Amino acid sequence: MQPLPPDWQQPLERYNEAITRRQFFRTSGTGLGVAALTALLGNRALAAGGTEAPVNPWKFAPKAKRAIYISLIGAPSQLELFDHKPALQTRFREDLKDWLKDQGERLTGMTSKQTGFPLAPSIFKFAQHGKSGAWVSELLPWTAKMVDDICIIRSMKTDAINHEPANQLIYTGSMQNGKASMGSWLSYGLGSMNQDLPAFVVLHAKHTSPFSNVQAISSRLWGSGFLPGKHAGVSLRPQGDPVLYLNDAPGIPRDLRRRMLDGLDALNRRSYESIGDPEIQTRTQQYEMAFRMQASVPELADLTQEPAATYELYGDEARVRGSFASSALMARRLVERGVRFVQIFHRGWDQHASLPRDIASQCKDVDQACYGLIQDLKQRGMLDDTLVIWGGEFGRTVYSQGTLTEANYGRDHHPRCFSIWMAGGGVKPGQVYGETDEMSYNIIKDPVHVRDLHATILHLMGIEHDRFSFKFQGLDQRLTGVVPAQVVKDILA
C-alpha cells in the first residue's frame, strides 16, 4: 500500500480536464502514471444533464483532510448523556399534556394517542469534567475523560420526527430519496488519498445487547444518489470477505491470479489496438487495482498485528470482529491509509421503553472505544487534521413514553433539540456549544440545524458549501440544500 500525499488527486483531476482526449489517447499505455490516471478518470463522461467533473471554485485549504462519522442509529437521548437538567428531578411525573399543547409540536404516531405525558427526569448522575467543566453523565465515563478534546453541541435540531426521514436528512441532506450521501459528496469533491482503497468506507458495528430496539438503515445512507456510482460508500465487512467478492475463489493461488491477469492485460491490449476505445485501458487498470486491493485490504483488516497497547486503549472488545470498538480501531487504520471519509453505523439507540437498561448497554458499546479513537489519533498527530463527529438523527422527549416508574421509562422521538459532539480537524476543543430550555425541549441559544452541521463539516474539509454543487435534473444540487445554511463559526478552532 502506497499512501499518497494528501490532495494528490485534485491536481490530477485538473490535469485531466486540461488534456484533450487525443493527448490522452496517444500517451496511453506507456507507463503506470498514465495508467493510474486512466483508472482515475473512471467512467466515460456523460455530459448530459450535467455530470461533468467539478470545477473547484468552492475549494480552499482545509483544516481536516479526512473525517470519521460515528452514526448512532435510533437517536441517543440527550437527556441521559449531555444535556443536564437537574431542575427536573423535583418534577417527576408532572403531566406535560397542557404544556405540550402550547409547544405546538407534532408528536409521532406512537405517543400522540397517549393520555398523559409524565415528565421523566433522567435517573443518571451527571458531573462536570475537565477544564471546560462540561456536564457528562455517568453513562459515558470515558467520554467524560476527554471533554477537553471534544466540542459538545447541545443545540442540534432537525426537521424530521421519524427515523427514516431523519436519517436521510442527516446523512444525505434531504428527506427525499435519490440524493447523494455525505460521504459520496466528499469522495466526489475531494477524491481519494490512496490508490488502493475507496475514498468512502462504511463500517457496520454490532451492538451487544439483545434487547436494544434496532432501527433499519439502508444503502441510501451511503449511496451516491445522483453522483457517479464510484463515489458510493464501500462497506468493509466484519464477516466473509472484508470487501464484497474480494477474495479469489478457493483454489486460485495468488501467483496464478497474477498470471491470469497478465494474460488478461495482454489480450485487452490487443483489443484496444484494434478498437481504440480508451475504456478498455481503464478496465485493465481496474483489474490491476482490484489485484492490489486483494493484498492491501486483508492487511488493513488484520487487527492482530496491533500492539497490546492498542487494545488497552480501545478496550478488549476491539478484539471482537465487528464490534464497535474494532470498528473504531478500523476507522483509525482506514484514515491512516488515506481513506477520506469513514462512517461507522451503530444501531440500537431507539429507546421508546426500558431506556435505562438499553441506553446503558449501548453506551458501554461505544464509550471507551470513542475515547480510544480520539486519543489514538492524538498520539499519532492525526487529530488536528481528522474530523470526528458523533451523534444520532434526532433527540428524545422529556416526557415518558409508556409507563413511568422510579427506575424505568422510555422516550419518544424529538426533533427540536439533540446533542452531538465533534472533535479534531479544526474544531475548537473543550467547548460546550448551545443551550436548551429547562425541559430540553426547545433550543434557547445557538441553534444548529442539520444543514448548518453539513455546512460546517464541508467548511472544515475545505469546501465552501454554497458553491459546492452538482447539476442534476436541471438544478444545482447541494448537500446543504436550498434553505440557506450557516457555518457554525463559533466552534471553529
Residues 212-271 that bind other proteins (CB under 8 A): 214-220, 223-224, 228-230, 234-235, 237-241, 243-253, 255-256, 259-260, 263-264, 266-268, 270-271
Question: Which of residues 7, 148, 279, 336 is near other proteins by CB under 8 A?
Answer: 279
Q: What's the rounded Cα separation, in Å, for the pair 393 and 170?
A: 6
Max CA pair span of the chain: 83
Of 331, 392, 383, nearest in space to 359 by CA: 392
CB of 350 to other proteins, least distance (A): 9
At 321, is the secondary structure helix, strand, or coil?
A: coil
* Site track for other proteins across 188-207, x = CB under 8 A: ----------------x---
Contact status, residue 63 vs residue 316, Cβ threshold 8 Å: no
**Smallest distance, other proteins to C-beta of residue 274, A:** 7
Element (H, E) at 343: strand 341-347
Instruction: Give 23's contacts (C-beta < 8 A, 6+ positions apart).
Output: none
284 binds other proteins (CB under 8 A): yes
22 binds other proteins per the rule CB under 8 A:
yes
| Set of cell numbers at residue 85 | 437538567
From 87, 295, 475, 493, residue interacting with other proteins (rule: CB under 8 A)? 475
> Quick one: 75 or 152, whose CB is closer to other proteins?
75
**Phi, psi values for residue 126, rounded to 5°:** -115, 155
Stretch that binds other proteins, among 310-318, 333-341, 434-442, 469-477 (CB under 8 A): 469-477
Pick 132 or 408: Cβ nearer other proteins:
408
128 binds other proteins (CB under 8 A): no
Q: Say how far apart CA 88 and CA 400 lie, in whole Å.
A: 13
> Considering only residues 277, 299, 302, 316, which one is a binding residue for other proteins as defined by CB under 8 A?
277
d(CA 467, CA 478): 8
Q: Which is nearer to other proteins, 32 or 308 (CB)?
A: 32
Query: C-alpha angle 169/170/171, rounded to 5°?
Result: 95
Residue with cell 485490504: 297
Only one of the segments 95-103, 122-130, 181-189, 211-219 lies at the binding site for other proteins (rule: CB under 8 A); that segment is 211-219
Closer Cβ to other proteins, 150 or 175, answer by number: 175
**Residues forming beta bridges with residue 388, ordered by sequence position:** 68, 423
> From CA 433, how far away is CA 150, in angstroms rounded?
11
x/- track of binding to other proteins for residues 287-326 (CB under 8 A): x-xx--xx--------------------------------
Does the protein bind other proteins through residue 413 (CB under 8 A)?
Answer: yes
**139/135 Cα distance (integer angstroms):** 12
**How many angstroms separate the CA atoms of 90 and 80, rounded?**
16
Least Å from the CB of residue 306 to other proteins: 24
Q: Counting contacts by CB under 8 A, is residue 455 touching other proteins?
A: no
Question: Considering only 14-22, 140-148, 353-361, 444-452, which stretch makes contact with other proteins by CB under 8 A?
Answer: 14-22
What span, in angstroms and rounded, lies between the C-alpha atoms of 294 and 36?
17
Closer residue to other proteins, CB minimum distance, 4 or 264:
264
Interaction with other proteins in 26-65: which residues (CB under 8 A)? 26, 42-49, 57
Among residues 275 and 493, whose Cβ is nearest to other proteins?
275
All 3 cell numbers of residue 149? 478534546
Site string for other proteins, 136-175 (x = CB under 8 A): -------------------------xxxxx----------
Phi and psi of 342, rounded to 5°? -115, 130
